Structure 1
């Protein structure tokens, strides 16, 4: 994962200062950006974006026509590309709200240099209907970066960006964007559509399943994969309707053996090892989603579940899926481990079958 300095460092900002200096007709670098390049140490990534954005706003004309003219001149330079453009997009989100549609049009032209998915969101927050009227047109754009912007920018819970409260509460106004793109020729675009559907599933699982079923009724060859990725959170949670729409019946007759623990005591940094067997008892083949659940001990002694993938495949009548799983307990920043008796469970098509205990030493 690149560091903040690698993404938006002094060299990147200095290059932007020179480029925008030329675009404004100066013979020297843009002064606020030049000074900003030397004042980035100690700033987080978001702090750097904000500092560079503010420097761009200080260096460029305060009126929209002048501001836009400089950036359109900059767009003629092939060097105006990559991470230097991200805080520029954020500057457009500040200045462009005053004029709205022209601001969105400029983001449309900037996004092929580096996605404007974060910068489009202030427009959607300020006036969702007005912004969506523009964004829906982007779904027919010949550039896949612009089509992806339509889907990614309207995601209710886009990571590392401000949420869209109106779409968290009711994502239906943005569904025409997804309907236009779920069969897109670009995997880059379809993956965004799947992630958008997954966002919807977190707050409106019924709507997500309904949407997925509608897409599967009018599919492209890529639709099954797109829908599976879009419903992944519901599948892992054992949501019966999501499993059913994907062909995984929660009522599938199976015989489950295990989990059989091979490492009854585990320390942080080591592996939990367990064996499993699942046999399809149906008269015909069955589509099985086999997961496992770790019931982690919390600081207060209670447990909280986390679902992990094992395998998804069609299993013939009488066929047995068997294997050994090694689950890592190496330290990670997103989870704090606590000592105590943990549980591991097998989950088949969302239904938990059996459990076994093991002891974790968190040190």
Structure 2
């Protein structure tokens, strides 16, 4: 099935008892055994271990990325944590230097006492990755486009290096999504999503997932699944139901995000108040060639801009916007802008004049008009 079809039909068996086309929310935390006290085959036992809504969601998530299995979590951070936890003590991880700050902070704070360490490198430079490899390097974690500067990593080149060294490759595909990039096609072992973002699409669900295929070692997958069920870091049945529903419109939302982002990036690139636009779809972008090689259907809905005049000018621009909201997160139908330095705090490596933009699916003329008046009033 094509993406547009599988996002609607995969995992949806309706409700045979009533004939309902849309599966119901099953809120029960426990499920009845058979009359003789045995567990009923195919039936859930306890909600922390499994739930009908979560099983349907995981089936759909796996299909989206062309994986064999998906493991749903209560947040993107919980999903990422499950991978690091599964690596074990004294492991070394290579991360991008431009990465969601919470990923690096997780290793440096929560796993410091495990002896886990990380090295941040410019992931667009294979030489830097090669020099960062140690005897105990277990994982290379790719984030492309990167958060918030939208660097594009050559996934295939990273995988080639990693496989030669018997190192796992994980890819945070939250920003690109399988609509624009399919990491399994380039040989990665694990894909992570903060499904709060584009999969949810409406800024009202907190969830994450790990998706695996046959490349993922079975013992690693088992540890990740055990972290989910034994650790109890699970999404609620209601969140699973909402996310399952939201994915039905995923394939029609994403091209609008990309269309609007391209138009907005081209518009902003022409303004003298803007120092730089970070968007891989622009021909002037230093990562455009790599992006064209591994991204299809467009270049996503995310961008960042550097505003002339430093932090003060950047914050004034956000204050001048009327339609666009200054808020954390991304991937919703509404356009959001955020000053990342102030959001990330002491751990930030973002420039003080950088604003991250999550382009929504509003009418593009309305978005351009809002940015035009905000820029003209700087």
Q: TM-score range by the shorter chain?
A: under 0.3
Q: Higher relative contact order by CA 8 Å / sep ≥ 6: 1 or 2?
A: 2
TM-score normalised by length of structure 2: 0.23
Larger Rg: 1
Q: Looking at secondary structure, tell me which structure has more helix per residue.
A: 1
Q: Looking at secondary structure, tell me which structure has more strand per residue.
A: 1
